[in-house]
Chains A and B, each alone.
Chain A
Amino acid sequence: MEVGLNNTQKFLSKIATNDGHGENLPYFDGWKAYDTNPYHPQTNPSGVIQMGLAENQLCFDLIQEWIMNHPEASICTPQGGFDFKETALFQDYHGLPQFRAAIANFMSRVRGSRVKFDSDRIVMSGGATGAHETVAFCLANPGEAFLVPTPYYPGFDRDLKWRTGVQLIPVVCESSNNFKVTLEALEEAYDKAKESNIKVKGLLITNPSNPLGTFFDKDTLKTLVSFINEKNIHLVCDEIYAGTVTDDNEFVSIAEILQEFPTICDHNLVHIVYSLSKDMGFPGFRVGIIYSYNDTVVNIARKMSSFGLVSTQTQHLVASMLSQNDFVDNFIHESRTRLAHRHDLFTRELAQVGIGSLESNAGLFFWMDLRRFLKEPTFEAEMTFWRIIINEIKLNVSPGSSFHCNEPGWFRVCFANMDDTTVMVAIERIKSFVHETRMLEIKTKAMAKTKKQCWQNNLQLKLSSRRLEDIMSPHSPLNSPMLRAQN
């Protein structure tokens, strides 16, 4: 059915007709390339490998084993069927008490049991996506703003702004100090907002960070908490990747800061967003959590959760699974180990060909440094190179510009959403590309010694001419001493 109305703009709301959904961004071109040509080891070995999706697929064997041994966790089995009716009827927005208890338990164990969570403060939402929007609705009016350190998850532009009318103001972080959030950057962003007459309502941090894969050290967290307390603004901590920290002992949750330094700030200003999508690998189950230290926010967010409750069928399963401490502890440990292994494999192999990344030990991705591959240090050059990565190397990675990074040349590469074989294929492709680029440079340099006119006719190019133009830049890795040394 065609839309045959006049004045569509007026017929639908402003929210419906603006770009707030964010899907017209270049970020999604990579997805389209993947969707139209997805890699498959047997049926499409030359397809695009998806490295733009932050999923955790490394521990499904553990979960599947648990499910087979616990038929009572499903309300569809004979063992669990007794609970079917009661579960199907339960629509109380408080959620099943056992679900909340299990989540509180899991959140605590993910943090090495260093801190406890109160199950009465657990509020459900439609994934972390729903949680962020709900928190924004609770804390800010249309036109008011949240400060967000860059680079940040592109989804925030939709989740926090689209239907709420809230604004996001970047707190610019730089590679010169490994993208750490500084007090200067916070103050600068806050002052800038003030100058533009925009009321800042809060600071949103993702810890561990997406896309950086790093986490905040204790001192920085304390600085942030003091900052928000002094400005009397909220602090929203998205800890969705808390379980992906490879060395548990190092990660500090905001909950621990409040526990260790209880007078550091007004607790009513602190709110945590969590989800099972990354730590457990259950994005389809839509288990989002808001955990607030503010009673009113808990109360209101809970009322709003009517718009995005977790299916009680899923609550039932999760309650059963995450209340079993043996399973939980083993899962968390195994997941960390496997993620660490993956991460190390990638970064080690890529370093061998002169590709570096930000040092990190969390997340389902690493922050790859391709600045030297850019023709010029511009975002146009970044996009051009990105298209080469998608179309010729056939990897969907995410360009830093889509994360509002202030410096071109950085790319987020996801590594936990594929099997071991695909990992090797991806690594091989990158290595081949770098190798070919290097070979091209050697040939080109040799040719340059002869007459300039000759090389354009004689050079056998395996690469497209466009690619050539992009590679032959002063910033290419061809000038890297490491590469030359390997010749």
Chain B
Amino acid sequence: MAIDIVQPTVGLSKIAVSETHGENSPYFAGWKAYDENPYHEIHNPSGVIQMGLAENQVSFDLLEEYLESHQEATSWGKKVSGFRENALFQDYHGLLAFRKAMASFMEQVRGGKAKFNPKRVVLTAGATAANELLTFILANPGDALLVPTPYYPGFDRDLRWRTGVEIVPIHCESSNNFQITPEALESAYDHARSMGMKVQGVLITNPSNPLGATIQRKVLEQILDFVTRKNIHLVSDEIYSGSAFHADEFASIAEILESRNYQDAERCHIVYSLSKDLGLPGFRVGTVYSYNDQVVTTARRMSSFTLISSQTQFLLASMLSNKEFTEKYIKINRERLRKRYEMIVNGLKKAGIECLKGNAGLFCWMNLSPYLKEATRESELEIWKTIMDEVRLNISPGSSCRCSEPGWFRVCFANMSEETLEVALRRLHEFMDKRRNEEMSLLY
């Protein structure tokens, strides 16, 4: 059955026929190219290398090792007697052991600099669901959430599609490394108001996707002051918190709140997931952590639409409550990501390409603006298409992340082997060399 056939849409809802799911954007066209011609070391060495998917594959061996040595704990025991209880468990509070394990893991990721109460952990099937759910709770249709650009393309769907809520961008610029400024916050707020929208909150991703950088503590304080002044919410998507290369370079909003004795905390909510830090996107493990009791209660009720499989809760409760394992995992995972990052940034540098100085995440924010014909979105998409067709790399254009400056690209590095990354870098190097030679020859 072809999925692209447009059927008559009589009798469906407005939500169903809208384009807000966002899948017709270039971001997804790259995926198509990859799907049709995927790189394989042996079977398809000239295929498209997928660098548009922010997956973490660098630490699976650690997970597999854990499973091998903890059979009893992870598979309902020898006689499978725990199966029945597990299969029946549908309480939206979630398995207590799992909630405790999540809270403890979140604390460990933050080096113990903030405490998390298992009672405030609400479970959802992935961060996708968590962000949508929070939006349903914090804003009415037509209201606005302010989101710094560039941002994760999925937000256009997650925050807006079924909720009817609008995203108003907080414009960030390369001149100060895309940091969020108080001026930009105010400007976005005023712009929303001028369009007749009620602003209900600010949503930040920290560490940032696609920038691959943590938000500085000072900036977090400013954002917190801003939302307090305006009496609005702050959602901090900390899905990449375990992917900061150096633990001490990441400051969570939780730490700021703790340092302020939780004053004004009830406007703050954290989204987390195991899809990036643990590399388990298929398991659909997300969480909303709110300092607001009513939000916790309501979110928990809403989680009925998107609970985590109790089978998965059971497995991960065991894994994440083993503090020796998690500590080791977090440390090694950070190191491996850092190494990968250095590898790609140095490789790009050799090819004459600069990146934003990053310190977290599964990607780097690459600057090709010097190579654009003109400083336009069209030029950006042109070079993107060339990289796709000639270099055969699927990378994500900044315009799909609503970046206000053309020429930036998100390049993922953790979803492949080192060898494949080397191939990708080599191809890019060759491409840039070829371009330079062509330009040189044009001069003569």
Question: CB within 8 Å of B: which residues of A?
Answer: 1-5, 8, 11-17, 21, 23, 55, 57, 60, 63-64, 67-68, 71, 74, 76-78, 81, 84-85, 87-91, 118, 120-121, 126-127, 129-130, 133, 137-141, 144, 158-159, 162-163, 201, 232-234, 268-269, 277, 281-286, 294-300, 302-304, 306-314, 317
Say yes or no: B87 contacts A282, CB within 8 Å.
yes
User: Which B-chain residue is minimally distant from A313 (CB atoms)?
Assistant: B312
Could you show 18 A-B contacts with beta carbons less than 8 Å apart?
A1-B292, A12-B295, A13-B139, A16-B138, A16-B295, A55-B88, A67-B83, A81-B67, A129-B304, A140-B13, A141-B13, A159-B305, A282-B87, A303-B157, A306-B126, A313-B282, A314-B309, A314-B312
Say yes or no: B16 contacts A137, CB within 8 Å.
yes
| Residues of chain B from 71 to 98 with CB closer than 8 A to chain A in the complex | 71, 74-76, 79-81, 83-84, 86-90
With contacts A3-B292, A13-B140, A129-B304 taken as known, whether A74 is within 8 angstroms of B262 at the C-beta atoms is: no
With contacts A2-B293, A303-B23 taken as known, whether A284 is within 8 angstroms of B3 at the C-beta atoms is: no
Say yes or no: A74 contacts B282, CB within 8 Å.
no
Q: What is the distance, in angstroms, from B1's C-beta to the closest C-beta of chain A?
A: 4
Docked pose: A298 CA to B16 CA in angstroms: 11
Docked pose: A306 CA to B21 CA in angstroms: 10
Say yes or no: B87 contacts A284, CB within 8 Å.
yes
Chain A contacts for B79, CB-based, 8 A = 64, 68
Chain A contacts for B55, CB-based, 8 A = 89
Docked pose: A283 CA to B126 CA in angstroms: 19
Q: What is the distance, in angstroms, from B201's C-beta to the closest C-beta of chain A?
A: 10
With contacts A68-B80, A286-B309, A296-B16 taken as known, whether A88 is within 8 angstroms of B280 at the C-beta atoms is: yes
Chain B contact patch, size range: 35 or more
Chain A contacts for B310, CB-based, 8 A = 284-286
Chain B contacts for A312, CB-based, 8 A = 282-284
Say yes or no: A285 contacts B57, CB within 8 Å.
no
Say yes or no: B7 contacts A295, CB within 8 Å.
yes
Say yes or no: B83 contacts A294, CB within 8 Å.
no
User: Which B-chain residue is minimally distant from A94 (CB atoms)?
Assistant: B3
Say yes or no: B125 contacts A297, CB within 8 Å.
no
Say yes or no: B309 contacts A284, CB within 8 Å.
yes
| Residues of chain B from 11 to 28 with CB closer than 8 A to chain A in the complex | 11-16, 21, 23
* CB-contact partner of B266 in A4, A14, A68, under 8 A: A4
* CB-contact partner of B16 in A8, A74, A139, A158, under 8 A: A139
Say yes or no: A64 contacts B80, CB within 8 Å.
yes
Docked pose: A68 CA to B83 CA in angstroms: 11
CB of B203 within 8 A of chain A? no
| Residues of chain B from 100 to 157 with CB closer than 8 A to chain A in the complex | 125-126, 128-129, 132, 136-140, 143, 157
* CB-contact partner of B67 in A1, A84, A141, under 8 A: A84
Q: What is the distance, in angstroms, from B243's C-beta to the closest C-beta of chain A?
A: 16
Docked pose: A232 CA to B90 CA in angstroms: 37
User: Which B-chain residue is minimally distant from A126 (CB atoms)?
Assistant: B306
* CB-contact partner of A137 in B13, B88, B262, B292, under 8 A: B13
CB of B315 within 8 A of chain A? yes
* CB-contact partner of B88 in A17, A141, A284, under 8 A: A284
Say yes or no: A3 contacts B294, CB within 8 Å.
yes
Say yes or no: B308 contacts A286, CB within 8 Å.
yes
CB of B397 within 8 A of chain A? no
- Which 9 pairs between the two chains have the least Cβ-Cβ distance? A284-B310, A312-B282, A311-B309, A91-B281, A283-B90, A16-B137, A284-B89, A296-B7, A126-B306
With contacts A89-B57, A312-B282 taken as known, whether A285 is within 8 angstroms of B15 at the C-beta atoms is: no
CB of B302 within 8 A of chain A? yes
Say yes or no: A81 contacts B84, CB within 8 Å.
no
CB of B412 within 8 A of chain A? no
User: Which B-chain residue is minimally distant from A130 (CB atoms)?
Assistant: B305
Say yes or no: A57 contacts B11, CB within 8 Å.
no
Docked pose: A85 CA to B280 CA in angstroms: 8
Docked pose: A428 CA to B91 CA in angstroms: 30
Docked pose: A159 CA to B63 CA in angstroms: 37
Per-position 1/0 for B280-291, Cβ under 8 A of A? 111110000001
CB of B307 within 8 A of chain A? yes
Chain A contacts for B88, CB-based, 8 A = 55, 57, 281, 283-284
With contacts A12-B298, A317-B311 taken as known, whether A3 is within 8 angstroms of B12 at the C-beta atoms is: no
Docked pose: A75 CA to B433 CA in angstroms: 46
Other CB < 8 Å A-B pairs besides A64-B79, A303-B23, 13 of them?
A1-B265, A3-B294, A13-B200, A14-B140, A64-B84, A88-B279, A138-B16, A201-B13, A269-B11, A283-B89, A286-B308, A296-B7, A310-B309
Say yes or no: B74 contacts A1, CB within 8 Å.
no
Q: What is the distance, in angstroms, from B294's C-beta to the closest C-beta of chain A?
A: 6
Docked pose: A340 CA to B180 CA in angstroms: 65
Chain B contacts for A159, CB-based, 8 A = 305
CB of B439 within 8 A of chain A? no
Docked pose: A291 CA to B142 CA in angstroms: 32
Say yes or no: B12 contacts A297, CB within 8 Å.
yes
Say yes or no: A8 contacts B294, CB within 8 Å.
yes
Say yes or no: B129 contacts A21, CB within 8 Å.
no
Docked pose: A163 CA to B308 CA in angstroms: 20
Per-position 1/0 for B298-322, Cβ under 8 A of A? 1001101111111110010000000
Chain B contacts for A302, CB-based, 8 A = 3
Per-position 1/0 for B349-381, Cβ under 8 A of A? 000000000000000000000000000000000
Say yes or no: B282 contacts A77, CB within 8 Å.
no
Q: What is the distance, in angstroms, from B69's C-beta to the closest C-beta of chain A?
A: 11
| Residues of chain B from 300 to 348 with CB closer than 8 A to chain A in the complex | 301-302, 304-312, 315
Say yes or no: B63 contacts A84, CB within 8 Å.
yes
Docked pose: A98 CA to B272 CA in angstroms: 30
Say yes or no: B16 contacts A118, CB within 8 Å.
no
* CB-contact partner of B284 in A74, A137, A311, A317, under 8 A: A311
Say yes or no: B83 contacts A60, CB within 8 Å.
yes
Docked pose: A2 CA to B24 CA in angstroms: 44
Say yes or no: A201 contacts B125, CB within 8 Å.
no
Q: What is the distance, in angstroms, from B222's C-beta to the closest C-beta of chain A?
A: 21
CB of B426 within 8 A of chain A? no
With contacts A76-B67, A285-B310 taken as known, whether A313 is within 8 angstroms of B87 at the C-beta atoms is: no
User: Which A-chain residue is minimally distant from B126 (CB atoms)?
Assistant: A309
Say yes or no: A295 contacts B1, CB within 8 Å.
yes
Interface centre among A4, A63, A91, A312 (most CB of B within 10 A): A91
Docked pose: A303 CA to B157 CA in angstroms: 10
Say yes or no: A91 contacts B266, CB within 8 Å.
no
Chain A contacts for B74, CB-based, 8 A = 76
Say yes or no: B309 contacts A313, CB within 8 Å.
yes
User: Which A-chain residue is minimally distant from B7 (CB atoms)?
Assistant: A296
Q: What is the distance, in angstroms, from A313's C-beta to the closest C-beta of chain B?
A: 5
Chain A contacts for B419, CB-based, 8 A = none
Docked pose: A139 CA to B13 CA in angstroms: 5
Say yes or no: B86 contacts A13, CB within 8 Å.
no
With contacts A283-B88, A309-B284 taken as known, whether A81 is within 8 angstroms of B64 at the C-beta atoms is: yes
Q: What is the distance, in angstroms, from A144's C-beta to the closest C-beta of chain B?
A: 8
With contacts A60-B83, A63-B83, A163-B302 taken as known, whether A311 is within 8 angstroms of B282 at the C-beta atoms is: yes
Interface centre among A5, A133, A313 (most CB of B within 10 A): A313
Chain B contacts for A268, CB-based, 8 A = 7, 11
Say yes or no: A57 contacts B305, CB within 8 Å.
no
Docked pose: A189 CA to B71 CA in angstroms: 57
Docked pose: A313 CA to B314 CA in angstroms: 11
Chain B contacts for A140, CB-based, 8 A = 13
Docked pose: A295 CA to B7 CA in angstroms: 7
Say yes or no: A88 contacts B87, CB within 8 Å.
no
Docked pose: A4 CA to B228 CA in angstroms: 13
